[in-house]
Amino acid sequence: MKIPLCKPSISSNEINLVTKTLKSNWLTHGPYNYKFEELFNTKFNTKYSIAMNSCTSALECAIKSLGVKGEIIIPSFTWVSTANAVLNCGSKPVFADVDFNTRNIDLKNIIKSVTKKTVAIIVVHFAGLPCDMSKISNFCKKKKIKIIEDSAETLGAKAINNYTGTFGIGCFSFFPTKNITTTEGGMLTTNDKKVYDYVKKLIAHGIDKSIKSNFWHREAVLPGHNFRMPNHLAAMGYLQLKKIKKFNKARNKIANLYNSNLSKITSKIKIPYIPKGFTHSFQMYTITVEAKIRNKLLNYLKRNDIEASAHFDPPLHLQKYLKKFNKKKLTVTEKLSKQIITLPIFPDMTKKEVTYVTDTISRFYKDNN
Ligand SMILES: Cc1ncc(COP(=O)(O)O)c(C=O)c1O
């Protein structure tokens, strides 16, 4: 049995609508962008959503919309986009440690990283579990620190009563491994009209559509990008988004099966932790094992046709080009990166496939004891 790390669920409905949209001759930003954005607003209780070509672009737009440069606190335990966006916008990433159980940046580690130059923080909701946003939001409000949420991995999850992406400027990803997909794609969410108006211009060549002296006039008011999502991908996103509840329910069911099977193997395997009142969207299913056997287990899974991985090893502050931005030892992050294993998860994963993975892990422990 061959098991991929992820497999997007794309039905004939999406394929038919994408084909129809392609045949409509409206190939760039178009009517489906508005439909997708409106549905996003409704589903996740946000005022404004802007569909774009990736979460990385959304992160850059979010940072630029703050209109300030300085130090931006980010976890080191994340994908490189979080740091790249900071650097590409002319600010300095300050790496913070995370909590071992949630794998998320927390208030204690944020406080340790704040300096007079701190202008913003990018929280990363790791693997589908939201950060403790009420504590972080209260602190940031007092300190006048802006919040950006890298919610690439956490579509449809709640921190207590609120969805991720509603505490600051939200940035979501629709890369094929994510909770919904548009192949490549992303979304920025905000409740601030000024941010919305600015980002709408920024992603479309800096053109201000409200300025028009005649029908051919295009007034460019800032050095913009072309970060737009094309109409046919927005159509795909629109249909995918309608299924988010179903997808996340399936992911949670798979996670529960993993939890129950793995708990029977050995207490050395630590299953994901979900704090009370939080929901998890399980974009990834991660466990921790003892550091001394982690690599061996990953290789064993690979030899048995199971596509497991380790998110994130190495963490960002140990990446060659980013080392110079960090002076402190991030003990928990370094420990986690050597113990973490990402197991396959996708909505259509069968019970048989989950059992094949957990049986393989069980065999590994028997052979190595
Ligand atoms: C935490 C995090 N941030 C940002 C990204 C980048 O998303 P995209 O590929 O849509 O640019 C990812 C995707 O892997 C991610 O996991």
Q: 172 CA to middle of ligand 1, Å?
A: 8
- pLDDT confidence of residue 25: 85
> How far apart are alpha carbons 82 and 75 in whole angstroms?
9
Ligand 1: nearest atom to the Cα of 184: 10
Q: Is residue 82 in contact with ligand 1, taking CB distance under 6 Å?
A: yes
Query: Ligand 1, residues 74, 148, 153: which to mutate, most atoms within 8 A of Cβ?
Result: 153
Q: 81 CA to middle of ligand 1, Å?
A: 6
Q: Identify which of 344, 358, 360, 281 has the alpha carbon closest to the alpha carbon of residue 311.
A: 344
- Give the model confidence (pLDDT) of 156-207 as tens digits: 999 989 999 999 999 999 999 999 999 999 999 999 999 999 999 999 999 9
Q: Residue 369 above 80 pLDDT?
A: no
* Closest residue to atom 7 of ligand 1, CA basis: 55
> How far apart are alpha carbons 179 and 280 in whole angstroms?
11
| Average pLDDT of span 13-28 | 95
Q: Is residue 153 in contact with ligand 1, taking CB distance under 6 Å?
A: yes
Q: Residue 26 above 90 pLDDT?
A: no
* Cβ 289 vs Cβ 306: under 8 Å: no
Position 213 confidence tier, pLDDT thresholds 50, 70, 90: confident
Helix boundaries (H) for the chain: 12-23, 31-44, 55-66, 80-88, 107-113, 133-143, 193-202, 231-242, 244-263, 291-303, 331-339, 351-367
Q: 74 CA to middle of ligand 1, Å?
A: 14
Q: Is residue 132 in contact with ligand 1, taking CB distance under 6 Å?
A: no
| Side-chain half-sphere CA neighbours of 290 within 13 A | 7
Burial bucket for residue 75 (CB in 10 Å: 0-12, 13-18, 19+): buried
Q: 152 CA to middle of ligand 1, Å?
A: 5
Q: 214 CA to middle of ligand 1, Å?
A: 40
- pLDDT confidence of residue 179: 98
Q: Identify which of 186, 129, 138, 187 has the alpha carbon closest to the alpha carbon of residue 160.
A: 129
Q: Cis bond leading into 278, ω under 30°?
A: no
Structure tokens of 297? 């287990």
Ligand 1: nearest atom to the Cα of 153: 16
Q: Residue 4 above 80 pLDDT?
A: yes
Q: 55 CA to middle of ligand 1, Å?
A: 6
Query: Ligand 1, residues 104, 125, 173: which to mutate, most atoms within 8 A of Cβ?
Result: 173
- pLDDT confidence of residue 160: 87
The 8-class DSSP code of residue 229 comes to P
Instruction: Give the mean pLDDT of the chain.
Output: 97
- Give the model confidence (pLDDT) of 44-96 as tens digits: 999 999 999 999 999 999 999 999 999 999 999 999 999 999 999 999 999 99
> How far apart are alpha carbons 201 and 221 in whole angstroms?
8
Ligand 1: nearest atom to the Cα of 54: 10
Q: Residue 28 above 80 pLDDT?
A: yes
Higher-scoring residue by pLDDT: 328, 229: 229
- pLDDT confidence of residue 327: 85
| Average pLDDT of span 333-343 | 98
- Give the model confidence (pLDDT) of 214-234 as tens digits: 999 999 999 999 999 999 999
Structure tokens of 96? 């913070």
| Average pLDDT of span 121-148 | 97
> How far apart are alpha carbons 357 and 236 in whole angstroms?
31
Position 212 confidence tier, pLDDT thresholds 50, 70, 90: confident
Q: 151 CA to middle of ligand 1, Å?
A: 8
Ligand 1: nearest atom to the Cα of 58: 11
> How far apart are alpha carbons 335 and 46 in whole angstroms?
36
CA 252 to chain centre: 17
Q: Is residue 283 in contact with ligand 1, taking CB distance under 6 Å?
A: no
- pLDDT confidence of residue 111: 97
CA angle at residue 16 from 14 to 19, to 5 degrees? 105
| Average pLDDT of span 13-25 | 96
Q: 182 CA to middle of ligand 1, Å?
A: 13
- Give the model confidence (pLDDT) of 276-300 as tens digits: 999 999 999 999 999 999 999 999 9
Q: 292 CA to middle of ligand 1, Å?
A: 29
- pLDDT confidence of residue 31: 95
Q: Which domains does the chain have, with CATH numbers?
A: 12-243 (3.40.640.10), 245-367 (3.90.1150.10)
